[in-house]
Chains A and B, each alone.
Chain A
């Protein structure tokens, strides 16, 4: 019997376990179609803001030992433009990632998608805080709860909170999102990081500080998923450094119901999705599992 690769993340059902992570290749419907055809369970859009953002000057993304540093500055075409673009979509499960600093912005954005086929909203809680300089939205649990509950009150699709390792304990951010009514949590976003060119003594990214992604953050991300899944009763989507089926399973065993793949696209190209699907299917056959859900959180029994 061929193992069933479909997954349920609370109210969200997907045919396959690995999604395209936010900010990766995510700006056109044709590209989404291609990635879905190549084996992704869903595609998460680039984080969209109320207005279009140009982002920072290059260098915005560079490779380093163990992964990538990026500070693109959340460049995106804006929620209204994006909503218009995905209106004709029927087939591809699209998770719309939204970024903003107050709940009104989120409400405005969700309303743009009223006539679109949206599988879920993922709220990127790593946006800079407007009042508290140097902090992120996710560092302010009260604000997180306000934003999530506002989105829940206007959105017809499920709502996912995406957390990163900010300056407050990320578990408090998770709790705040749960209090606001989040249906699931994605963990983790990139980790604040920096690289300096030795020859010129300059920070490499134009924004100086950016986010670290790729294999270097995987063990940290696995730990976070394990902690969230152990502490709270909420479905988790694992993300951070996944580039093979073994990596994906590590997250599943830590307690993730599904995973997202970002940087690995830069190393393995979009073939990475079918490689993960095939690898997991083989593993399930070998070990005698028939459903993904049988494997979720298995590492917690030790």
Chain B
């Protein structure tokens, strides 16, 4: 049984890896978080600043875990600016996990949405034929290509980087590249994590072709454990009932792809 912590425990940042000019990975030792299931997340406390939900990044060494952070607002920037030796608090892991099907699977992600997908790749069955599609705006935002190849070294696999400006890999939106690929390749399942508009398109595409699909969603999180309700979407609590949801459920959601709640609980459009 996985042990779940509801109180923050302090960890020292052991290593900082620059992924792109705006994305860094922070490595810690945490035996509990090292083995979380794909899709699960932790609440990461930046003392004196905030506490943010973060997916747990795969690190090859035993007992290590990491967070891969894109600097956006004040809090993620404070996390991004931390150095080796600094302290963060972690609690978790929380949430459910992707259901990994047999056969040919596609992982479609953008930005830090690749974090849970790489963990999914790590949990893939030896028989899975894995295609990873990673979307970004341009070449200098591409990251995790090597990590993906490394994690999947024992699987039949391909890693396709897509850039909107065509400066690297395939040109275009990752969803368009997926649509083209799906015309010739029959996928048994598709998994997605990243910007909600992207996930919405992926889910629509998969549903229209009758392919099993799951997406890992983001919503405003405070408790992370199904108490406060701030992460609610339709009738589910994304932190507790998710973060992973099936295409069938998402197809009937009034909010998925359209709205999310602000800190006060007011619905806002994407």
Q: A residues touching B (Cβ–Cβ < 8 Å)?
A: 23-28, 30-31, 33-34, 46, 52-55, 57-64, 68, 70, 72, 75-78, 81, 195, 197, 199-200, 202, 204, 206, 262-263, 265-266, 269
Asked if residues B228 and A25 are in contact (CB atoms below 8 Å), the reply is yes
Report the Cα distance A251→B197, complex, angstroms.
48
**Docked-complex contact B235 and A46, CB < 8 angstroms:** no
Interface size class of B (residues with CB under 8 A): 35 or more
* Contacts A31-B229, A59-B45, A269-B240; A199 near B10 (Cβ below 8 A): yes
Q: How far is the CB of B259 from chain A (nearest CB, A)?
A: 11
A-B contact pairs, 8 of them (CB 8 A): A24-B229, A28-B229, A30-B232, A30-B235, A62-B6, A64-B6, A70-B223, A78-B264
By the criterion CB–CB under 8 Å, are B47 and A26 in contact?
no
Contact of A266 among B7, B48, B50, B226 (CB under 8 A): B226
Given A28-B229, A204-B8, A263-B227, are A59 and B235 also a contact pair (CB < 8 Å)? no
- Other than the known A31-B229, A204-B45, A266-B223, what 20 A-B pairs have Cβ atoms closer than 8 Å? A25-B232, A28-B229, A28-B234, A33-B235, A54-B263, A54-B264, A57-B50, A58-B51, A58-B222, A59-B51, A60-B51, A60-B222, A60-B228, A68-B6, A72-B228, A77-B264, A77-B265, A77-B266, A202-B48, A206-B50
Q: How far is the CA of A269 from the CA of B96 in the complex (A)?
A: 14
- The answer to whether A57 touches B49 (Cβ under 8 A) is yes
Chain B residue contacts of A81, Cβ below 8 A:
266
> Pick the contact of B230 from A57, A75, A266 — CB < 8 Å?
A75
Closest 3 CB pairs of A and B: A63-B6, A58-B51, A199-B10
Q: Once the chains bind, are B8 and A62 in contact (CB under 8 Å)?
A: yes
Answer yes or no: B225 CB below 8 A from chain A CBs: yes
Can you name the residue of chain A whose Cβ is closest to the Cβ of B237? A25
- If A25-B226, A63-B7 touch, does A30 touch B234 (CB 8 Å cutoff)? yes
B235 / chain A contacts, CB cutoff of 8 Å: 28, 30-31, 33-34
Tell me, yes or no, whether B108 is within 8 Å of chain A by CB. no
Q: What residue in chain A is nearest B87 (Cβ atoms)?
A: A200
Q: How far is the CA of A72 from the CA of B229 in the complex (A)?
A: 11
Pairwise interchain contact A59-B8, C-beta atoms closer than 8 A: yes
Let me know if A26 and B50 touch, CB within 8 A. no
Q: Whole-angstrom distance between the alpha carbons of A23 and B265 in the complex?
A: 12
Cα A202 to Cα B261 with chains together (Å): 30
CA distance A158 to B75 in the complex (A): 43
Does B89 sit at the interface, judged by CB under 8 A?
A: yes
Q: Once the chains bind, are A76 and B87 in contact (CB under 8 Å)?
A: no
Measured in the bound complex, the distance between the Cα atoms of B225 and A72 in whole Å is: 14
Would you call B119 an interface residue if the criterion is a C-beta within 8 Å of the partner chain's C-beta atoms?
A: no
Nearest CB in chain B to that of A25: its residue: B229
Are the C-beta atoms of A26 and B229 separated by less than 8 Å?
Answer: yes
Q: How far is the CA of A265 from the CA of B241 in the complex (A)?
A: 13
Residues of B within 8 A of A195 (CB): 7
CB pair B265 A61 closer than 8 Å: no
Indicate whether B91 reaches chain A with its CB closer than 8 angstroms.
Answer: yes
Tell me if A61 and B227 are in contact (CB < 8 A): yes
> Is A197 a contact of B8 with CB atoms below 8 Å?
yes
Closest to B222 in A: A60
Of residues 122 through 165 on chain B, the ones whose CB sits less than 8 Å from some CB of chain A are none
Q: Are B87 and A199 in contact (CB under 8 A)?
A: yes
- Cβ of B87: which chain A residues have Cβ within 8 Å of it? 199-200
Q: Which of B5, B45, B232, B266 contacts A31 (CB 8 A)?
A: B232
Find chain B residues with CB under 8 A from A57 CB: 49-51, 75
Which parts of B24-38 form the interface with A (CB within 8 Å)?
A: none
List chain B residues, Cβ under 8 A from A199.
10, 87
Say how far B72's CB is from chain A's closest CB, in angstroms: 15
Closest Cβ of chain B to A39, distance in Å, is 15
Residues of B within 8 A of A34 (CB): 235
